[in-house]
Structure 1
Amino acid sequence: MKVSFQTKSRHGYSVEFSPYYPQRLACATSQYYGLAGCGTLFVLDTTPNGLVPLRIYQWNDGLFEVTWSEDNDNVLVTAAGDGSVLLWDVSHPQGPLKALKEHTKEAYSVHWSQTRSEKFVISGSWDSLIKLWDISQPNSLTTFSGHRSMVYSVRWSPHIPGCFVSASGDQTLCVWDVRKPQFAQTVIPAHEAEVLSCDWCKYDQNMVFSGAVDGTIRVWDMRNPHTPVNQLQGHQLAVRRVKASPHAGNILASCSYDFTTRIWDMTAPTALEVIEHHTEFVYGLDFNLHIPGQIADCGWDELVHVFSPRILQP
C-alpha cells in the first residue's frame, strides 16, 4: 500500500525515516525549486488516515537535507541554503533551537554519526568544505578542505568510528578520518561527471556506492578503489541519491532527475524494479529501518510517497 502527502508549493529535497519510530519520517523542502524563497521541514507520521503532519517548521531559506539524531528521538538537523546547520526538536512547536552558521555558501548535506558513542554531525557545502560539529557547541570542531568543488553528499560509515565519505562536483569520492583532518585518507576519481550522492553498504565496511550526473551508479571496494566493482546503468538523467538497504547487503535504491526511483541488486547490471510515481525530479529517498521493504521518496512535484516496491515485498 502506498500513502502520500502533498508538500504544497514546497519542492522535496530530502526524506529520512526516524531511527526510533517506524511510523515517523521527516522531509526537507524548498520553495521555488530551491532557487529562491524559504524552506519547510515536515515531520510526518504514517497513520490509518495516511501521512499526517506532526510538525511543520519554517526557515527563511531553502532546506536541502535532513538527518535524525541517533541519541535523541525528538531531534533533527537540516542543511540550509543560507549556509546554516539547523537543530530542531519535535517536542518544541517553534524552531529551530539553534542555527550554526560557518559555511559561506549553501549547506547541502548533513549526517548524524551512526556510531552511538559519537554525537557528531558532518555538513557538506557548496563552498567545497566539510565541517564536523558537536551540536552542543557553538562552533565547528574541524574543517575538511580537500575537495575542489561543491560537496553534494556526506555520509558517516556505519561500521568504522570517525570515518565518513563525501561526494563532490570535482568528480571524486573522498574517505576521511576525523582524527586526521588535514587530508583525505582515500581519493577516488569516481565518475567522469559530478558525483551527487554516496552511501555505505550496511553489511560490508569496505563497500561504498556513488551516483553521478552521468546517470550511473558505481560500486566501490575501499581495499581496491582504483576500479569499480560494478556499474549500474539505466537512469536516463542524473542520479540524485543512492541509499543502501539496511535489510539486505546486496540491495540498494536510487532516485533520479528522470522522475524514477529504482531498486537494484549491486551485483546485477540492470534495475530489479523501476518505480514511476513522480512527475518531476526525484530528490529524496530512504529505507525504513523498522519495516523491511518500505521506502519513502520525495520530489519536485510536491509529493512524498511511502510505499513498498514489489520486488522487496515478502
Structure 2
Amino acid sequence: MQSTYRTSPHACYSIAWSPFHPHRLAVAGAANFGLVGNGRLLTLSPQGIDQAFSTQDGLYDVAWNELHENQVVGGSGDGSIKLWDLTVPDYPIRNWHEHGREVFSVDWSNLQKDLFCSSSWDGSIKLFTPDRPASLLTIPAAQTCTYAALWSPHQPGVVASCASSGLLTLFDLRVPNLPSSTAPTPGPTAPATPALAVPASPGELLTLDWNKYMPHVIATSGVDKNIRIWDTRMVGQGGSVGGVCTGSLAGHQYAIRKIQWSSHRADVISSAGYDMTCRIWTTQPSSPGSSSQLYVHNAHTEFVVGCAWSFFDEDVLATCSWDQSVHIFRPPFPPPRR
C-alpha cells in the first residue's frame, strides 16, 4: 500500500490526519521552501486535493479542530495564526496576529477541546480559543526560538515545549504562576516557571512528542540526530527539576525535523529527517542486540519534514517533504505483539 500526492508548486512543511474522517489530511505548504513567498493549506482525500487556501506567507504547521470536523488552524511565517472552515470558501474565519516572529507549531488539545496552543520563534507559547479575538494566555517559554509546543494527551492543562537552546520544558497551566494575556503582545515579557526543565540536547531541539499510552514519557530530537526518550516522573541528580533519559535511538545522518509516537503501539515511533528519510523505530527490540530500527522510507528526494500516524488505520503512516509530495503507506514491519 502506497499513495503519492503532489503539492506543487509548494514545498510541504507539516501534515495532520483528521480526527473525524479516516482518510482526510491537512497539509501546510510554502513556496520556495518557505524562504520567501506565499503559503498554502491543502486538504487531501483518496481522490486527491480537495481544497486549497492561500496565505501571504509560508504556512509551517496545521492542526484540526477537535470539536469541528471542518475547521483547521495554521501557523504562518509572518507571525499570524489563521482558522479556516472548509465549508467557507477563500478566506479564514479567524485571524490572530500576536506573535512577533514565525509561528512554527500549532496543536489542538484532545482533552480541553476548545483550546489550542501555538509556539513561535519569538520564544513564546500562546493559548487560544476560536471564540476569542485575542489569546487567553501567553507563556514566555524561552529566550530563544520555541520550535514546538504540544498538549499532553493525558493531563489537562499540561504543555511540553522544545527550543533552540536544547531545553525541554513542561508547563502546568493549573499552577497560577504564568502571566495572562488579554491583548496582543509582540513576544515574551516576563519569565515563567516551568514544572520541569530538561537540557535534552547539546544542539537545537526541533521536535518532541508525548507517548500516547505512557503518560509520563516524552521523546525529543533535533540537530544532533538522536531521538531521546524521557521519563518525566524521575528527577535529576540531587532532586533538581528535570527528567531522566531512558533510551536513545540513532541512525539519521542529518537533523531530525519531526517525530511522532504511533497511535496504536506504545513502543513505536517515527522520525522525519533532513537526510530525506522517514524512519520507524521500536523502543522494545525483539531480542538483546537486535536493531531498534524497523524500517526506512527513502522514497522522498528532498528534506522529509513531517510524519503522522493514522488515528483509524493501524500502522498507516503519512509523510511530507520539501519535494512537494505526500506519501501514505503501510510500512512492512512485524505485526504488534498481542
For the aligned pair, the TM-score class normalised by the smaller chain equals: over 0.9
One-letter identity of the residue aligned with 2:94: K
The alpha-carbon distance between structure 1 residues 9 and 119, as it changes in their structure 2 partners (threshold 3 A), is same
Which of 87, 92, 97 does residue 96 from structure 1 map onto? 92
Partner in structure 1 of residue 185 of structure 2: none
Residue 296 of structure 1 pairs with residue 318 of structure 2: yes
Partner in structure 1 of residue 163 of structure 2: 168
Which of 288, 300, 303 does residue 281 from structure 1 map onto? 303
> How much does 1:313 deviate?
5.8
Partner in structure 1 of residue 50 of structure 2: 54
- Summarize the alignment of residues 146-157 of structure 1 with structure 2, pairs less than 5 Å apart: 146-157=141-152
> How much does 1:9 deviate?
1.7
Q: Give the gaps of 5 or more residues in structure 1.
A: none
> How much does 1:91 deviate?
1.1
SS state at 1:229 partner: strand
Residue 234 of structure 1 pairs with residue 271 of structure 2: no
CA distance in 1, matches of 2:78, 2:143: 20
* Contact map agreement 2:268 2:280 (CA 8 A) in 1: yes
Partner in structure 2 of residue 251 of structure 1: 268
CA distance in 2, matches of 1:282, 1:148: 28
What CA RMSD, in Å, does the superposition of the two structures yield over aligned residues? 1.2
One-letter identity of the residue aligned with 1:296: A
Largest Rg, 1 or 2: 2
Provide Cα deviations, 1:233-273, integer angstroms capped at 9, x if missing partner: 00010010010111011111110000000111124463111
* Contact map agreement 1:206 1:221 (CA 8 A) in 2: yes
Partner in structure 1 of residue 230 of structure 2: 220
SS state at 2:244 partner: coil
Provide Cα deviations, 1:21-71, integer angstroms capped at 9, x if missing partner: 001001000001111000011101014xxxx11111100000000001111
The alpha-carbon distance between structure 1 residues 19 and 294, as it changes in their structure 2 partners (threshold 3 A), is same
Residue 208 of structure 1 pairs with residue 213 of structure 2: no
CA distance in 2, matches of 1:41, 1:313: 34
- Summarize the alignment of residues 59-98 of structure 1 with structure 2, pairs less than 5 Å apart: 59-98=55-94
CA distance in 2, matches of 1:293, 1:160: 25
One-letter identity of the residue aligned with 1:69: N
TM-score (norm 2): 0.89
CA distance in 2, matches of 1:265, 1:100: 39
Provide Cα deviations, 1:161-196, integer angstroms capped at 9, x if missing partner: 011110110111111112332321101100111000
Q: Give the gaps of 5 or more residues in structure 2.
A: 179-191, 235-241, 286-290
* Contact map agreement 2:80 2:98 (CA 8 A) in 1: yes
Residue 139 of structure 1 pairs with residue 134 of structure 2: yes
TM-score (norm 1): 0.96
CA distance in 1, matches of 2:205, 2:284: 21
Provide Cα deviations, 1:121-151, integer angstroms capped at 9, x if missing partner: 1000000111011121011111111312101
Partner in structure 1 of residue 279 of structure 2: 262
SS state at 1:33 partner: helix
SS state at 2:333 partner: helix
Partner in structure 2 of residue 183 of structure 1: 193
* Contact map agreement 1:27 1:41 (CA 8 A) in 2: yes
* Contact map agreement 1:230 1:267 (CA 8 A) in 2: no
One-letter identity of the residue aligned with 2:202: E
Task: Tell me the matched-pair count.
Answer: 309
The alpha-carbon distance between structure 1 residues 312 and 56, as it changes in their structure 2 partners (threshold 3 A), is farther
One-letter identity of the residue aligned with 1:302: Q
* Contact map agreement 2:284 2:292 (CA 8 A) in 1: no
